């Protein structure tokens, strides 16, 4: 097997939620000579909670000569949220930013990494200038299709409800965790993953892909309102085939944490009539700042501009209001602030909604020994805490031009889902 084949095998294992296998695939490769192996090693160690090893792998990248790998390495270090940066790190990044002749997404990653160093130093105004510069560059290289999102949301809002059958206790019971990225969905997933009667998948794109198929095939609403039971049964089997690759325990309950599935609630209920939804609600300012500070490698292009984030939030609130009116018994609104302020009653309530008995492990999710594949990997390995509450306020001064719109989002969220 060649080095490239071994690395590809490792990335395939990682994408399937098997970071240990990813590390085994590249065990004999000299990482300092093969940057992609070093990148894979960093990602796999991050998923396993080995933050020191992940940082060492990423620092190999930043010391290299390839511009793309250097930029990716710096951002990966910043994305760890556990790396401690020095003044020398800041100086190296400043030199790279000054010397760069290409204004593209890779320069954007360097700006985002520099923003994290300023954030760590407690200087949010300095951080914000780099956040905006970095996000503007990334947005220019992969713009957000706002008109496409508007068209989809408008069509989804015309869908009407239908009577749902009672949840069958003796058949597969999917629990979909939905909401905004960076809203606490990974923490909720970790709580449920700690339960011995629950299997956990990854962020699965299946429902999003099927939604795109429906949109191309005569329109989303037309397909949802049709009586094509064979289509839904076929989709269900395809979905289970994917789910079963993750579900080693073969339990009845399994979790699919894909935040964007808030778009596809009616499709999911057609495919999985037993589905329940845990909708995680976070303060809009905290959430928007958190998304803006993060680089998402694929999708979520709206997050690279504050205007895009506000627009996406507006559509999200309208859709969640609509689904909550149509399917109130299947959607549980879980406030992130309540979860971290009073974890015990919040966890008791979410377990009751899911039809799961209480077990001690769910109240200490940071102790769960499982790979975490999302950007929140470091945070969810800490005991539940309030550090994320009010985190967006530090950027209020720099974001004054957007605060009125964000305040309106908060008012709407409180009216719809109550106060956290």
Side-chain-facing half-sphere of 221: CA atoms under 13 Å: 11
Q: What is the CA radius of gyration of the chain?
A: 22
278's enclosing H/E stretch is strand 276-281
**Residue 256 neighbours by CB under 8 Å, 6+ apart:** 174, 175, 176, 177, 201, 204, 243
| pTM (two decimals) | 0.95
Strand partners, 253: 173, 198
CA angle 23, 25, 29 (to 5 degrees): 90
Q: pLDDT class for 249, splitting at 50, 70, 90?
A: low
Cα–Cα distance, 47 to 377 (Å, whole number): 6
Domains of the chain: 3-141 (1.25.40.10), 150-417 (3.40.50.300)
Q: pLDDT class for 251, splitting at 50, 70, 90?
A: confident
What token pair was written down for 296?
Answer: 């998402």
**Residue 74 neighbours by CB under 8 Å, 6+ apart:** 61, 62, 93, 96, 109, 110, 113
Closest by Cα among 147, 369, 357, 390 to 286: 390
Average pLDDT over the chain, rounded to whole?
93
Averaged pLDDT for residues 390-400? 95
Q: For the stretch 57-68, what's the b/e string if a residue is b when 16 or more beta carbons lie within 10 angstroms of its beta carbon?
A: bbbbbbeeeebe
* pLDDT at 171 (0 to 100): 84
Closest by Cα among 144, 404, 153, 145 to 264: 153
* pLDDT at 367 (0 to 100): 84
Averaged pLDDT for residues 18-30? 92
Cα–Cα distance, 218 to 105 (Å, whole number): 35
CA angle 25, 28, 29 (to 5 degrees): 90
Check whether 227 has a pLDDT greater than 80. no
Q: pLDDT class for 299, splitting at 50, 70, 90?
A: confident
State the burial class of residue 321 (Cβ atoms within 10 Å of its Cβ: 0-12, 13-18, 19+): middle
Q: Give per-residue pLDDT as tens, 328-373.
A: 999 999 999 999 999 999 999 999 999 999 999 999 998 887 777 6
């Amino acid at each position: 097997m060649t080095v490239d084949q071994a690395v590809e095998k490792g990335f395939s294992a990682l994408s399937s939620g098997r970071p240990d296998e990813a590390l085994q695939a590249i065990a004999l490769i000299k990482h300092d000579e093969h940057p992609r192996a070093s990148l894979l090693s960093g990602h796999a160690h991050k998923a396993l909670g080995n933050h020191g090893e992940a940082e060492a792998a990423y620092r190999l990248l930043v010391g290299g000569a390839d511009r793309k790998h250097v930029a990716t390495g710096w951002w990966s270090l910043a994305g760890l949220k556990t790396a401690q940066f020095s003044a020398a790190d800041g100086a190296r990044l400043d030199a790279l930013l000054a010397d760069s002749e290409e204004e593209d997404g890779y320069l954007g990653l360097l700006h985002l990494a520099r923003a994290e160093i300023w954030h760590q130093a407690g200087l949010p105004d300095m951080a914000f200038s780099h956040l905006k510069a970095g996000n503007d560059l990334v947005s220019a290289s992969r713009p957000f299709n706002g008109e496409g999102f508007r068209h989809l949301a408008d069509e989804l809002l015309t869908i009407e409800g239908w009577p749902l059958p009672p949840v069958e206790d003796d058949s597969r019971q999917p629990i979909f965790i939905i909401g905004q990225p960076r809203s606490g969905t990974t923490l909720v997933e970790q709580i449920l993953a700690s339960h011995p009667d629950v299997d956990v998948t990854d962020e699965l794109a299946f429902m999003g892909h099927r939604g795109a198929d429906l949109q191309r095939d005569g329109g989303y609403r037309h397909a949802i309102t049709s009586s094509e039971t064979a289509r839904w049964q076929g989709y269900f089997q395809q979905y289970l085939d994917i789910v079963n690759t993750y579900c080693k325990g073969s339990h009845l309950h399994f979790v699919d944490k894909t935040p964007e599935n808030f778009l596809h609630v009616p499709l999911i209920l057609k495919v999985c009539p037993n589905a329940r939804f845990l909708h995680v609600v976070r303060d809009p300012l905290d959430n928007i700042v958190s998304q803006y500070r993060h680089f998402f490698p694929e999708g979520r292009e709206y997050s690279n501009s504050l205007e895009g984030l506000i627009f996406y939030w507006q559509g999200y609130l309208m859709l969640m209001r609509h689904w909550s009116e149509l399917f109130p018994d299947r959607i549980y609104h879980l406030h992130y602030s309540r979860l971290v302020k009073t974890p015990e009653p919040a966890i008791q309530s979410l377990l009751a909604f899911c039809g799961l008995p209480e077990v001690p492990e769910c109240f200490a999710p940071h102790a769960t020994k499982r790979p975490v594949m999302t950007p929140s990997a470091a945070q969810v390995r800490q005991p539940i805490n309030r550090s994320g509450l009010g985190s967006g306020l530090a950027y209020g001064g720099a974001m004054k031009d957007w605060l009125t719109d964000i305040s309106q989002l908060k008012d709407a969220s409180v009216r719809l889902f109550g106060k956290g």
